[in-house]
């Protein structure tokens, strides 16, 4: 590590996130002190197409990253020519290859220019650090429900870097189910927030959608639920979008909470944690908080902004990795299918 002084400066990491459709840069001290966190969502760009268009995403990252870097550094009071930081961290996977390459290549170039280490971060591990950014005294192990657009994992987290898989979706990710149902009923992209909004004025028992695998182990499944929604809407075309959204959301939330409750019991968890974009969902946050209360367990929820993709979580994970694993080689490749490293 290059000579960077002491205290929070020594642990200050510049994080870059470009794995999907958010371009984000953050400066975080010691894994918890968010000195700046800025992002530019490409939602409007992709909304016309009903989902993320990889080629457009990559080009937008290229355009957006440089001004966001300048903004994040200015907000954190860093000198752009020779910032007092310990490392530059960037997401190296999973995600869209053309998008990952933009952030990771920039981070490697900055690491060379500033003579500080580069740290390649797993995006999923980044999500797991979101709660740690905002909660200090954690009772391990945590049962963590990681629910994003591409992944749905139930984990036992024994501490940073120590993850055991308890269950996972057998088909669609939870966020993907939100996005597909929203698109089907014409609520647009991204589907999660649109479903949550519509559901506020809908009746959650208007439809009794299936709760897949509710009483069966720790794995999850959402493709059958999505098909059930399509069938039900075709059978009752007069039904309101709000009722469909509320009934669908109730089914997803019930399954997610039940699986988390079972996972907590299976590993004698010390606490319950949510991560990933779907963790921004209000009814899920309320239901998981209630369930944890019934189990007598503390619940660690990242703030909504830290649930969806951001660079503060990447900087936090990068800081921990730098301290406990070490820097990454500059020839580290991006991997669109990078898996979360699990302990056996």
Residues making contact with ligand KG4 (CB under 6 A): 20, 148-150, 175, 178-179, 190-193, 196, 276-278, 280-281, 308-309
Q: What is the spatial distance between Cα 62 and Cα 33, in angstroms, rounded to a whole number?
A: 27
- Which partner in ligand KG4, Zn ion, none is near 280 (CB below 5 to 8 A by kind)? ligand KG4
220 DSSP 8-state letter = B
CB of residue 278 vs ligand KG4: minimum separation in angstroms?
4
Residues 67 and 80: beta-carbon distance below 8 Å? no
Q: What is the spatial distance between Cα 330 and Cα 88, in angstroms, rounded to a whole number?
A: 11
Binding of Zn ion at residue 309 (CB under 5 A)? yes
Q: Which is nearer to ligand KG4, 122 or 308 (CB)?
A: 308
Strand (E) or helix (H) holding 163: strand 162-168
**Residues 57-82: b if buried by 16+ CB within 10 A, e if exposed:** bbbbbbebbeebbeebbeebebeeee
Q: Which stretch binds Zn ion (CB under 5 A): 77-85, 110-118, 288-296, 304-312?
A: 304-312
CA Rg, the chain, in Å? 20
- Which partner in Zn ion, ligand KG4, none is near 196 (CB below 5 to 8 A by kind)? ligand KG4
CB of residue 113 vs Zn ion: minimum separation in angstroms?
28
CB of residue 20 vs Zn ion: minimum separation in angstroms?
7
Q: Which is nearer to ligand KG4, 120 or 193 (CB)?
A: 193
CB of residue 276 vs Zn ion: minimum separation in angstroms?
6
Q: What is the spatial distance between Cα 271 and Cα 217, in angstroms, rounded to a whole number?
A: 20
For Zn ion, the binding residue among 18, 42, 148, 156 (CB under 5 A) is 148
- Interface residue list for Zn ion (CB under 5 A): 148, 309
């Amino acid at each position: 590590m290059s000579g960077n002084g002491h205290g929070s400066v020594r642990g200050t990491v510049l994080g870059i996130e470009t794995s999907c459709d958010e371009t984000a840069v953050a400066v975080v001290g010691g894994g918890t002190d968010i000195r700046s966190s800025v992002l530019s969502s490409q939602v409007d760009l992709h909304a016309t197409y009903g989902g993320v268009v990889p080629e457009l995403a990559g080009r937008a990252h290229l355009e957006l990253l440089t001004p966001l870097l300048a903004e994040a550094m200015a907000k954190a009071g860093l000198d752009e020519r020779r910032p007092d930081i310990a490392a530059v961290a960037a997401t190296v996977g999973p995600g869209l290859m053309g998008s990952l390459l933009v952030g990771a290549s920039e981070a490697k170039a900055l690491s060379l220019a500033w003579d500080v280490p580069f740290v390649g971060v797993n995006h999923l591990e980044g999500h797991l650090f979101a709660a740690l950014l905002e909660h200090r005294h954690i009772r391990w192990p945590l049962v963590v429900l990681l629910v994003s657009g591409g992944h749905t994992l139930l984990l036992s987290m024994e501490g940073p870097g120590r993850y055991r898989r308890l269950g996972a979706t057998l088909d669609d990710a939870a966020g993907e189910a939100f996005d597909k149902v929203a698109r089907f009923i014409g609520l647009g992209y991204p589907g999660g927030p649109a479903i949550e909004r519509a559901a506020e004025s809908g009746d959650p028992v208007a439809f009794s959608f299936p709760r897949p695998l509710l009483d069966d182990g720790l794995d999850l499944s959402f493709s059958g639920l999505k098909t059930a929604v399509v069938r039900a809407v075709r059978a009752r075309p007069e039904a309101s979008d709000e009722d469909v959204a509320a009934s669908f959301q109730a089914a997803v939330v019930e399954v997610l909470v039940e699986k988390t409750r079972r996972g907590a019991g299976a590993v004698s968890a010390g606490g319950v944690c949510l991560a990933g974009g779907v963790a921004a969902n209000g009814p899920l946050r309320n239901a998981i908080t209630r369930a944890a209360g019934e189990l007598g367990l503390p619940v660690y929820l990242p703030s909504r902004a830290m649930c969806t993709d951001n660079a503060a979580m990447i900087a936090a994970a990068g800081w921990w990795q730098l301290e406990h694993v070490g820097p990454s080689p500059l020839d580290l490749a991006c991997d669109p299918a990078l898996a979360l490293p699990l302990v056996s």
